[in-house]
Amino acid sequence: MSKRPAGAILAAGTGERLRAAAQGLPKPLVEIAGRTLLARQAEAILDAGADSVLAVINSETARLIREHDVKLPDELELVVRDTANSMETLFAIGERLRPGHFILATVDAIVPRPEFRRFAAEAIELGGFDGVLAVSRWGGEARPLFAELGADGSISGLGGQESPFVTAGVYFFTTAIFRFVAQARASGLAAMREYLAYLVRAGMRLKALEVSGAIDLDEAPDLEAARAMLSERSRLAPASVRKGRD
């Protein structure tokens, strides 16, 4: 592929279930190891090969970034949009992306940096697919998006039937996924997970790549687990590679 992919972050949610453990902050501004989730995710996407990152945030998050002079990567562009749901946040991203491939992540998807880089590198090399989804083994988390996989790792269904794999919040897509925006709205879909399942039913070819160590930050125990995991990885890493390698 001649061009580096773009990057994008879904960060317009309010994160109500996590607020009590995060001093009332919206999820993008929750800190782990001294960096906000928004900055951390942008850095991970850039480290994985994107040339720039677009993030859709809500007006509350934008206000707090201004008031507290929150430091973010120079390559990160913020779009302020109070979207109705995660599907509309995805569509807001689609309005701003150049045609081609892009690395996408939810702001609350914690994937160890080496795994994130490996996922992106392998996804970029794959051909013949409209999208690649990072998946992990289901550990009993609430409200997972189950992924049904074929023998070749292709995704045959999302969400309907319990399976060993769940989506991990990191994706590699072509902008062709936005061709069904009008149909999705007309069908009354109201979440990104519903739109992804719709893409499978519409015949788009999606593939799964397994990653390890993924954590979906929804509640206080998830935040504690992510901090513990990143602290342990930092402790075990050689001193010369600790900075920026979690």
Say if strands 165-174 and 146-149 run parallel, antiparallel, or are unpaired: antiparallel
> Over pLDDT 70: what percentage of the chain?
92
Helix (H) or strand (E) holding 146: strand 146-149
Q: How far is 92 from 237, CA to CA, in rounded Å?
A: 38
Domains of the chain and any CATH numbers = 6-236 (3.90.550.10)
The model carries a pTM of 0.91
β-partners of residue 71 are none
Tokens of 176: 């062709």
Q: How far is 56 from 9, CA to CA, in rounded Å?
A: 7
- pLDDT tens column, 116-167: 999 999 999 998 899 999 999 998 888 899 999 999 999 999 997 899 999 9
DSSP result, 113-131 = HHHHHHHHHHHHH--S-SE
Task: Report which residue type is found at 27.
Answer: K
Q: How far is 110 from 133, CA to CA, in rounded Å?
A: 14
More confident residue, 240 or 153: 153
